Amino acid sequence: MAEGAAPGSPVWRRPRVRDAGTTGLSDAVTQASGDNGGMDSAARHPASVALVPRETGRPPWPSRRLFPLLATIVMTVVGMAGTIWGPRYYGKTAWALPDDLWGTLIAAQRLAHLNLAGLYTWPTQLVSLPGTAVILVPAALVIDVTGLQLGLPVAHGPYPAVWLLAGPYQVAISAVALFAADAIAERLGATRPKRFVLAAASATALWSVTVRWGHPEDAVATGLLMYAVLDLADARTWRSAWLAGAAVAVQPLVLLAFPLLAAVVEPRRLAGYAARAAAPSAVLLAAAAAANWTATVHAVTSQPNSPQVDHPTPWLYLYPRMADDQVAAGPARILAIVVACGCAWVVARRWRAARTRQPAGRWGQQGLAELLWWTAVTLALRSVFEPVMVSYYLWPPLAVALAAAARDWSRLLPTGCVAVGLTFFSQISWRNPWSWWTPMVAGLALALFFARVRPGAGSAPQVLPEPGEQLAADGAP
């Protein structure tokens, strides 16, 4: 690189440390200034130390994201084959379709036709925010253009051609979670074999969300949330806020992680972060409520679920019953948010301790992995307190826990084994409130135990300085 190039030019980047659990700020300076470790000109000028030349031979994006790309292709092919030809092994001829997907597709079709009043009316059965339908609008438009008829599964017959479009599309958009996990693993310094295992385990667990149950909104929201955490770790606060807001608009489940994000955002940026994060949901929900206030408020606040169809849990008897023997799941999710705030309080104390010793800026690997693990803990609270569960509820915390464990074989392999085993074991249709819920929660706890971040030399998360900031820990001028 030519001398005198501006630090803000595209050929410069910030350095990354090898292991934030054992590497301090002084080691980061040594890595950036050279291997001699001496007091050369770069070490004497911290502003120049904060930036190092970018490698000219950086692989293209398809090469860097090869494993999630392959996992997406394999999941699409195997998933479609399993739904079309798989039932023949059980003596059935009709395709095995995810029933929940069709109502959301109808909501997306109404949204594409600007029929906002029908977004929360029969037969959409939509109880999430409108972003759930927004992500399926492209598929609904293609279905309209091709002239295919969209309705409930009983109206399609045993071999609906619309599935040949909707199936691959929902898998493709759900793969954002696979790409987010791989980007996090790359940031954590995971080797390519570990990233291969991560992609394989994550895609296997994702089968329950997409191919089996047809809820791509859970995968999209979780993937956007992981990208938001990654951007926050890289000091891109404004982009993190928009990504987190988009995640909530798609699936409010990720609200459980918002107290954690608020705990680690710099106080002076918290108001702007919250405003950006709230904007997408507020706009979409206001538009739907203006078109049909009664249906929108009822669906979003009560969030009914049926214990006759899905798995009842021991919490079932503590929550109010609704029409058609359904249960209001909304109060349970408020309780989960309260507990998530307690987790955020623990994290906030550790982050405050880190900030008193180091300037605000990019996090080290230890800090990123630790926040991801706590994010998985908060997402698991939904399964702990839910009165009625479905097996795909287990996936979001498992996906984030796998990403948090990607750096070490000792954490990744057992976490991956538990995630895959729990994915298939959860498909058992036991109806007793205790016999199904208890092993599911125990399996989640086991996965979180294996994925937990082991403390390094310093117990508090490391925070790396922004370019040009004073490196007080090294006594730099």
In angstroms, the CA 224 to CA 249 distance is 11
pLDDT-wise least confident of 57-61, 200-204, 292-296, 327-331:
327-331
Amino acid at 174: S
Single-letter residue type at 448: L
Q: What's the pLDDT tens digit per position in 62-83?
A: 999 999 999 999 999 999 999 9
| pLDDT computed for residue 232 by the predictor | 93
The residue to which tokens 């309780």 are assigned: 335
pLDDT of residue 91: 85
Query: Is the pLDDT assigned to residue 285 strictly greater than 60?
Result: yes
Asked if pLDDT for residue 149 goes beyond 90, the answer is no
Distance CA 282, CA 409 (A): 42
Highest mean pLDDT among 32-41, 46-55, 441-450: 441-450
Q: How far is CA 242 from the centre of its chain?
A: 14
pLDDT in tens, 195-237: 999 999 999 999 999 999 999 999 999 999 999 999 999 989 9
Which amino acid, residue 19?
D
Higher pLDDT among residues 321 and 470, named by residue = 321
User: Token pair of 71, please?
Assistant: 């996992």
Distance (Å, rounded) from C-alpha 228 to C-alpha 247?
9
Degrees, nearest 5: CA angle 58-64-68: 175
Q: How far is CA 364 from the centre of its chain?
A: 20
Judged against a pLDDT cut of 90, whether residue 32 lies above it is answered with no
Helical H segments across 41-136, by residue range: 41-44, 46-49, 61-64, 66-84, 100-112, 131-134
Average pLDDT over residues 372-378: 97
Name which of 204, 217, 248 is nearest 78 in CA terms: 204
pLDDT value at 1 more than 80: no
* Exposure b/e, 370-397, CB count within 10 A at least 16 = b: bbbbbbbbbbbbbbbbbbbbbbbbbbbb
Angle at 55 between CA 30 and CA 22, to 5 degrees: 35
Q: What is the DSSP letter of 363?
A: B
- Give per-residue burial for 117-150: e unless 16+ CB within 10 Å, then b: ebbbbeebbbbbbbbbbbbbbebbeebeeeebeb
What mean pLDDT is predicted for residues 99-108? 93
**Taking a C-beta distance cutoff of 8 angstroms, is the pair 133, 102 a contact?**
no
Other CB atoms within 10 A of residue 93 CB: 8
| CA 449 distance to own-chain centroid | 19
> Which of 351 and 80 is assigned the larger pLDDT?
80
What's the confidence (pLDDT) of residue 361?
55
> From start to end of 227-373, where are the E strands?
304-305, 311-312, 327-328
pLDDT at 304 over 90: no
Cβ neighbors of 145 (< 8 A, separation 6 or more) are none
Q: Considering the chain, what percentage of its residues have pLDDT values greater than 90?
A: 62
Lowest mean pLDDT among 319-328, 358-367, 373-382, 424-433: 358-367
Residue 409's nearest CA partner among 261, 253, 201 is 201
Instruction: Report pLDDT for 362.
Output: 65
Helix axes 66-84, 192-206, angle to 10 degrees: 30
First vs last C-alpha separation in the chain:
26
pLDDT of residue 57: 65
Q: Are 123 and 106 in contact (CB under 8 A)?
A: yes
- Does the structure show a pLDDT above 70 at 46? no
Total residue count of the chain as it appears in this document: 477
- DSSP H or E stretch at residue 53: strand 52-53
Residue 212: DSSP 8-state: I
Q: Quick check: 150 and 106 in contact, CB under 8 A?
A: yes
469/343: higher pLDDT: 343
Residue 431 is predicted with a pLDDT of 83
Strands 311-312 and 52-53: unpaired
Q: 175-185, pLDDT tens digit by residue?
A: 999 999 999 99
pLDDT at 282: 97
Position 111: which residue type?
Answer: L
CB atoms within 10 A of CB 343: 19
Tell me 407's DSSP state: T
* Percent of all residues in the chain with a pLDDT value above 70, rounded to a whole number: 80
